[in-house]
Structure 1
């Protein structure tokens, strides 16, 4: 008997934790189990072919809001090709309203909630070691109906197996997911974690051992899926301290609640090696009344104070989340929330949109707040009594600008040029998004170079070409920091002539290998601009490391090297 555990991830670089748990949890059973991972960006015909070539008796799908529609189509195609293949569903997207889902879709079985023990008993049933009627947590079709044997208690975390193996080379160059706890102490109305009672933790020594596995394999990024990693202060401190002591290039990503960070934790984190940790902080809104509406009894000032303290050291990348469409928050309130978060200066700002997930209390309160949402996954808000559909569309355009320009970190100096020219940072991204829409850029793919040139056109149209020549120099600097050095787009000017370049190379040849470094001249005093945003036309010279974009050397006085 063969089971194909199938994951359809949102991106190629992602990996699926759930299917690995299931395989390892049943490793002692005598059956053939194969994991195949795909992406929603793959052609469905290609995935179907790959699945059929496996010749499995059961195809099991890991279901989430981002892949449910895709999986529904895929399951139907599988049945059309070979209706003897049985289909098993599991995951958060099918763990609510399970009976109706199974009635309305092809497939025979559905696991609700935590699936490890239920899946193991299901395999025992397929191996004729257990009766179907004894498996709790499993929905299954009979000739005339869908039956359910009752819910299963939460799994003891100590019974979980480590989902990865030393020979699992599929995680190389992927984002790897790991959990040290299940559950969340908070009851946010939009989150499915609010439906789980309590928080359960793995043994801290076991967690250390398992994290060592990732470091030994050279995994680039490990993302903890724990909903609030720092809710147990002693546990969090011990893990952080252990990871800080390791000699590794692996980065560890945690979702934390910043408002409950203690001073001793912030002091510890200030000593972390640069790049070892990155934090995702769910701000959601800075409107305290709206926070109360979603059952988050915190103050933005508490979040801001602690996030700002972490930012002072500059060693931990912080990703702050906002959600548009929350009950009680209109367009102007969200605009203020964005500006409040932007004032902290986090490395990334994520603008999400409210999703009314199956099983969440927010879905139950939709009528109360006048929220209309899509009946299709991911069940995103369309409008409410506080914010219109048109306003949400405007926010989506601004969100694309924030994600492309702010979050990439590749346009920081260009953004600084514009920020003080608009009343608020939000106004800049809003106007830039409107400009993109007017030019039709949202409806076609534009190349990397064009993303830079947009700013010259935007400045010309919106600000009457104010300091246009200075802007060209700033764009040139940001462009060279992250792109090939030997070639410049035709809208940027290369001022360094061959004789001047030769003299500079001769003067620095004892320090720098000219084959690995690129020299560029700027008409603008770039150092002054970076330090205080001052616009001063004075020649400045920089040496760009071709192999390491973070290594940029300023030649402050050209006369000294002649």
Structure 2
């Protein structure tokens, strides 16, 4: 009698925290339960072969927006080959609007929401009887003190090679309508002493990279300070054995006590993910996002100037009520703050999120297939939305990659959004691609674009070469993607002209 907990991770480096929570809370069934993780892109038949080799009676799948299509194929094949195996689904992708989903129709049972208590109870019914009458089981939310923590289930291989996800709290008090956390009533903290003891054990086993999944790490400053002190103590005890911590923080809440703690971290030890999403107050009000934009900007500016934290700041294009001009103003404002990375995201309609209430009023059209990306709004047509999608991809390749650090200021000039959009459109027109562009080719394209924008050819070549000294061989004369000679150099002029 074997119970298998399975999921398809986005990549090997991601270790499933959700499955480990389920395994930790299986109680008397824990010894009969195995964990099997796969990576998206793996052949369906290979996954099914490995699952059936476990001789399972029950397989529980963690279903997410990035793996639902491939997991659907796995479940369909399992039901053909081994119809006696009971398939139980759980996870955010199947917890809402589940009735019409093919994967739910294929499966035997579905646990919506929290599964820590409900999944083990369902397994006991399937094994011992009486057999469950209902297909859908609403997850029971227990007190956090009743949930066994899963961190000892990270293997030595996980610790050596994978990102370790941890959480000091669950839930979120904010109601941003594009986020599933909008459905939470509040945030619930785990007992801090017990959580820190778990971190201590992980560190003693060799863990050095911790990614917190808390939505609001800096909501409770006293708890934030204690967690940061844990890492500062490790750094002080062994400066040559650094630890790294990633936190998601509320951008407009950075009191002096927290600033004092942040300032103590050395370079390379601390990363903050900061969700700005939009600088437009009207758009923020539409999606129920409460944010003091001036305070958020001030805090980002302070972090850049006074801390060694690496800042990863998020913006979302396609929100209801926002046109390209509004988004461009927000983007330029954020660029001026000089965060290390700007994550340019495109709105997605996650199942269950309240953003759908704006569909008719703002002409929201979403792709019906995962990840349900916005295709058009009443303010941004499909063609322009596609341009924004390409902008986001090229921004990752050129700006967020850090590969064009010397060239980027010249690329952006005085109008960062407008100029980078020109570059994005130009590259796409010559390559008809946003992926599989070789690094050397991209460098040649950037140098050529700068030259065509009025930067002296030698200067453009030198800029890109300084980013790629010893890595790529730029031709003495810039060439087009098709190999034709470049147009004669134009009169030198400002990039923003």
Specify the alignment match of 1:388 in structure 2. Answer: 381
Alignment partner for residue 219 of structure 1, among 207, 216, 234? Answer: 207
Q: Paired residue for 2:33?
A: 33
Shift of 1:12: 2.3
> Do the aligned partners of 2:461 and 2:474 also contact (CA within 8 Å) in 1?
no
How far has the Cα of 1:241 moved from its partner?
Answer: 2.0
Deviation at 1:351, TM superposition (A): 1.0
Match of 2:422 in 1: 431
How many Å apart are 1:339 and its aligned residue?
Answer: 0.8
The C-alpha deviation readout for 1:40-80, integer Å capped at 9, x for no partner, is 13233332332233222222110111111111111111112
- 1:443 deviates by 6.0
How many residues align? The count is: 471
Q: Higher RCO, 1 or 2 (CA under 8 Å, sep at least 6)? A: 2
Structure 1 pair 440–425 and aligned structure 2 pair: CA distance change class (3 A): same
What is the correspondence of 1:127-206 to structure 2 with a 5 Å cutoff?
127-128=127-128, 131-132=130-131, 146-148=134-136, 151-165=138-152, 168-171=155-158, 172-206=160-194
Partner of 1:543: none
- Where do residues 282-293 of structure 1 align in structure 2 (5 Å cutoff)? 282-293=275-286
Q: 1:346 to 1:473 in 2, by over 3 A?
A: same
Q: Deviations over 1:412-446 (max 9, x none)?
A: 001123222xx411122211211221112516622
Post-superposition offset of 1:102: 7.5
Give the 3 Å change call, closer, same or farther, for CA 458–220 of structure 1 in structure 2.
farther
Q: Give the structure-1-normalised TM-score.
A: 0.79
Secondary structure (helix, strand or coil) at the match of 2:6 reads: strand
Change (3 A) 1:478 1:215: farther
Partner of 2:399: 406
How much does 1:30 deviate? 6.0
Task: Tell me if the contact between 2:175 and 2:181 (Cα under 8 Å) persists in the aligned partners.
Answer: yes
Partner residue of 1:445?
A: 436
Contiguous gaps of at least 5 residues in structure 1: 134-141, 494-562
Residue 273 (structure 1) aligns with: 266
- Counterparts of 2:175 and 2:108, CA distance in 1: 33
When residues 234 and 44 of structure 1 are mapped into structure 2, their CA distance, relative to the original with a 3 A threshold, is same
Change (3 A) 1:167 1:223: closer
1:547 matched residue in structure 2: none
Residues 448 and 460 of structure 2 are in contact (CA less than 8 Å); yes or no, is this contact kept in structure 1?
A: no
Please report how far the alpha carbon of residue 166 of structure 1 lies from its aligned counterpart in structure 2 after TM superposition: 6.6
Root-mean-square deviation (CA, aligned residues, Å) is 2.2
Q: Does 1:242 align with 2:241?
A: no
> Are 2:465 and 2:474, in contact at CA under 8 Å, matched by a contact in 1?
no
**Judging changes above 3 Å, is the alpha-carbon distance between structure 1 residues 303 and 272 closer, same or farther for their aligned structure 2 residues?**
same
1:458 maps to 2:436: no
Q: Is the 8 A contact 1:244 1:273 kept in 2?
A: no
Shift of 1:294: 0.8
Partner of 1:54, secondary structure, is: coil
C-alpha distance in 1, partners of 2:140/2:210? 29
Deviations 1:248-278 (A, max 9, x none): 5221111110102212211221112222210
Q: 1:132 to 1:255 in 2, by over 3 A?
A: farther
Cα distance change, pair 443–415 in 1 and its aligned pair in 2 (3 A): closer
Cα distance in 1 between the residues matched to 2:103 and 2:245:
41
Show CA shifts across 1:186-240 (max 9, x none): 1111111111112111111122222223333333532111111111121112111
Mapped to 1, the partners of 2:474 and 2:415 lie a distance apart of 32
Q: Distance in 2 between matches of 1:463 and 1:305?
A: 33
SS at match of 2:383: helix
Cα pair distance change 1:350/1:297, threshold 3 Å: same
- From the superposition, tell whether residues 348 and 218 of structure 1 become closer, same or farther in structure 2 (CA, over 3 Å): farther
Does the 8 Å CA contact 1:174/1:220 hold for their aligned counterparts? no
Post-superposition shift, 1:86? 1.6
